[in-house]
Chains A and B, each alone.
Chain A
Amino acid sequence: MMPTLTDRYVWAVLRALPPEHRDTVEQELRANIADAIDADDDDDRLSSEKRAIREMGDPSQLAVGFSPKPSYLIGPTNYVQYRHVLGVIVSVVCFAAALGAFLVSNSYSTPPGVVLASVALAVVISGLLGLVGVTASYAAIDRRSVNSAPFGPEATLHRLPHRPPPRASSSTSTILMVLGALTAFVVILVGELITQDFANPNEAVFLLPQGAEVATITYFALIAIAFGAIYVGVYRSDGWTTRLAWLNTLLNIVFVVPTAWMLFTGAVIVWNDGSRNADEIGVITLTPAALLGWILLIAGVVDSLGSHLAAYRRQRNNPPLLTLVADLFGRSTAGKP
């Protein structure tokens, strides 16, 4: 069915609002527009619809009024998308920079403190660059997309956006886990090929559990594919479901636990100078590798909990988080004597 002018106008307002506010604002907008159309004397419904929409005003400005928080540098049209892209870009850039800094500095038998400082510095600098880059880009986009003509003329109404088909709710953490798995896969594969000193096996750097290279590479590849499949499932279901959340948790376990174990025990990405082995390094040692392992573990837990929370909120029609917490607290105390 072709979207009506009302559909497009409502979407032009909603797209600038946080997802948790969209449902209620949509109901109100549609009811108000319908009332205005009904009150119009014109027999031509399309003309009445156009008049009603013009009375509502510029959708960007209306979104500012409905927005729970004011936005300054980035206007309401692009703010939600900007925040989403910023989160993804900064997270990925920081992760890649941290991994790169770790690999480079750790490959030259650098003291652990220096490695840690290099990683921290790389994260801060790349994070700031990502922040500035994305913000500057969106500020430019925002200013270019500001309506040059007042809202209302026929040409402006024709420019109202079409609502895209249903999409998955924000699942940034899952995308990051997919990217993390893929990055690890590529780094390990490439590292395995370029760092071996085949002429002198005693001095070789080993990046994979010795004797299990093919199995490990296959394992990471399958995990990356499985994460991709889950994301497709989230996309098709238009959000997290309980089943997908449990699958995501399972996948996090099979990805994070072995990877963290390898990092803790030195079975992967360790300079093998012949004087130490996995047993000597120990399971929980605060080396840069162990720190990376802890970060992965925490990311896995956060991702799993996030998917379950998203599925639970979806079941309850996406109430605000505070309402959900209050509801849970109320229910948990209600049963007590």
Chain B
Amino acid sequence: MTAYAQELRRGTAVLLCLVNLEVPEYGYALLASLNKAGVEMDAGTLYPMLRRLEDQGLLEAEWNTDGPRPRKFFHTSPEGKLLAQELHREWQQLIATVEENMKGIKP
């Protein structure tokens, strides 16, 4: 059950990153906030994904050197925001489809 649930959640990882990063954030803070929100994601999965989204132009990144140590802050690009809206629409349709199909199943 846990593995299936994780697989289901993993499909939403990109959408959640794009939505959460509308406010600029650095990698570890994003990981912590996702985990706090119940989306368990490995650091080894998140960091490469952030880099891939950056390479694809869906995220923009900037090194912040104001703190005691440089940190790379990510935020969603305009293209990323458009994709997030599309994915959100897909997500809503998916929920509606699942709910519709669940009606015929007895608990």
Contact = CB atoms under 8 A, between A and B. Distances in A.
Interface of A: 25, 27-29, 31-32, 34-36, 39, 55-58, 61-62, 64-66, 68
Chain B interface mostly helix, strand, loop or mixed?
Answer: helix
A58 B48 CA distance: 13
B69 interface: yes
Nearest to A65: B48
A27 B72 contact: yes
A34 B27 CA distance: 11
B28 A28 contact: no
Nearest to B27: A32
B26 A62 contact: no
7 contacts: A27-B70, A32-B28, A55-B42, A62-B47, A62-B48, A65-B52, A66-B47
A31 B70 contact: yes
B10 interface: no
A82 B71 CA distance: 33
B43 A31 contact: no
B65 to A, nearest CB: 11
Most buried by A among B49, B51, B52, B55: B51
Contact of A36 (B43, B63, B70): B43
A31 B43 CA distance: 13
Contacts of B45: 65
A91 to B, nearest CB: 31
B44 interface: yes
B17 to A, nearest CB: 14
Most buried by B among A27, A28, A57, A66: A28
Interface in B75-107: none
Contact of B47 (A28, A58, A64): A28
A264 to B, nearest CB: 48
Contact of A57 (B32, B42, B72): B42
Given A56-B44, A65-B44, A65-B45, A34 B72 contact: no
Nearest to B51: A66
A28 B72 contact: yes
A65 B72 contact: no
Contact of A35 (B26, B49, B51, B63): B26
Given A39-B32, A65-B49, A66-B51, A31 B27 contact: yes
A32 B43 contact: yes
Nearest to B48: A65
A34 B43 contact: no
B35 to A, nearest CB: 10
A56 B32 contact: no
Contacts of B55: 68
A178 B82 CA distance: 55
